[in-house]
């Protein structure tokens, strides 16, 4: 899923009221005409970044919950499924793709479960890119994944353990931030030992970035820090 350009920024126009030719009315119109237009807070402000971080956390958390119990897709009116769709922009391909994946797992009687580490996935925004406009935010995420795919008979079919960095995008729609999704470019991946991933690994990248913006392209395929990857339990090539 390539991240695409966002729609133009939103603006609210201020219009003056009509009236007669009296002096008071003319003065009021002049005052309104000179008032600055009302606009949304800039995408770079702390409140916007906080809202988007909370949005990404809720969306990815719901998805992980679904894959632990894929049968939720059999109830389209389930409040969590409804909420999941509300978190995304109308043109995001993510909700449909997730539901399609859940249906396949239901058909096969499979689900995901945390590995021995006790968690399936942690996702954190650790870096922000300069926004193209006031209603779009680009960011880079750090994910630690440590999960097992389980068959209908309870047998563990496969293990997925990795440190992953992917770009993401959020857009402000009608004054509210919504998630477009994460890139499917997983070239910046470091394999981890299944069951040995360490929760909180990505917090180090968040702290290092200090919530700031960077001129570095978030799709750069170079992993941010090999040392941190090894510290997370990465398998070192022999």
Yes or no: say if 121 and 143 are a contact pair by the CB < 8 Å rule. yes
Task: Give start and end residues of each alpha helix (H) in the chain.
Answer: 23-34, 46-68, 79-86, 94-108, 203-209, 226-231
Q: pLDDT (tens digit, 9 = 90+) per residue, 68-83?
A: 999 999 999 999 999 9
Q: Is residue 102 part of a domain?
A: yes
Q: Is residue 34 part of a domain?
A: no
Q: Is residue 51 part of a domain?
A: yes
Q: Is residue 70 part of a domain?
A: yes
Number of structural domains found in the chain: 1
- Predicted model pTM: 0.70
- Distance from C-alpha of 184 to C-alpha of 165, rounded to nearest angstrom: 10
Q: Is residue 6 part of a domain?
A: no
Whether residue 227 is predicted with pLDDT greater than 50 in this model: the reply is no
Q: Is residue 147 part of a domain?
A: yes
Mean pLDDT of all residues in 112-131: 93
- Residue-level pLDDT at 29: 38
What range does the domain containing 222 cover? Answer: 40-231
Q: pLDDT (tens digit, 9 = 90+) per residue, 38-63?
A: 345 566 678 999 999 999 999 999 99
Mean pLDDT (the chain, rounded): 77
- Distance from C-alpha of 172 to C-alpha of 200, rounded to nearest angstrom: 29
Q: pLDDT (tens digit, 9 = 90+) per residue, 26-38?
A: 444 333 334 333 3
Yes or no: say if 73 and 104 are a contact pair by the CB < 8 Å rule. no
Yes or no: say if 117 and 197 are a contact pair by the CB < 8 Å rule. yes
- Residue-level pLDDT at 119: 92
Q: Is residue 184 part of a domain?
A: yes
- At residue 53, φ and ψ (nearest 5 deg) are -60, -40
Mean pLDDT of all residues in 180-185: 93
Tell me, what CATH number does 58's domain have? 3.10.450.50
Whether residue 10 is predicted with pLDDT greater than 70 in this model: the reply is no
Q: Is residue 212 part of a domain?
A: yes
Q: Which residues of 68-81 are buried (b: 16+ CB within 10 A; e: fewer)?
A: eebebbeeeeeeeb
């Amino acid at each position: 899923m390539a991240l695409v350009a966002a729609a133009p920024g939103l603006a609210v126009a201020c219009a003056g009221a009509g009236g007669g030719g009296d002096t008071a009315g003319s003065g009021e119109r002049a005052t309104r005409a000179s008032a600055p237009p009302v606009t949304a807070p800039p995408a770079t402000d702390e409140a916007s970044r906080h809202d988007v971080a909370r949005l990404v956390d809720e969306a990815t958390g719901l998805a992980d919950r679904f894959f632990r119990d894929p049968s939720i897709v059999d109830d389209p009116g389930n409040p969590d499924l409804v909420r999941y769709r509300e978190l995304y922009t109308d043109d995001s391909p993510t909700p449909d793709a997730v539901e399609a994946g859940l249906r396949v797992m239901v058909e096969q009687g499979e689900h995901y479960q945390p590995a021995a580490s006790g968690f399936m996935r942690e996702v954190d925004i650790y870096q922000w890119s300069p926004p193209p406009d006031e209603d779009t935010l680009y960011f880079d995420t750090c994910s630690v994944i440590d999960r097992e795919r389980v068959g209908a008979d309870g047998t563990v079919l496969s293990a997925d353990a990795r440190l992953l960095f992917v770009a993401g995008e959020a857009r402000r729609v009608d004054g509210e931030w919504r998630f477009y999704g994460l890139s499917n470019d997983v070239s910046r991946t470091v394999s981890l030992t299944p069951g040995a991933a360490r929760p909180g690994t990505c917090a180090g990248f968040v702290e290092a970035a200090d919530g700031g913006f960077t001129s570095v392209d978030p799709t750069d395929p170079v992993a941010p820090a090999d040392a941190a990857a090894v510290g997370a339990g990465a398998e070192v090539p022999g």
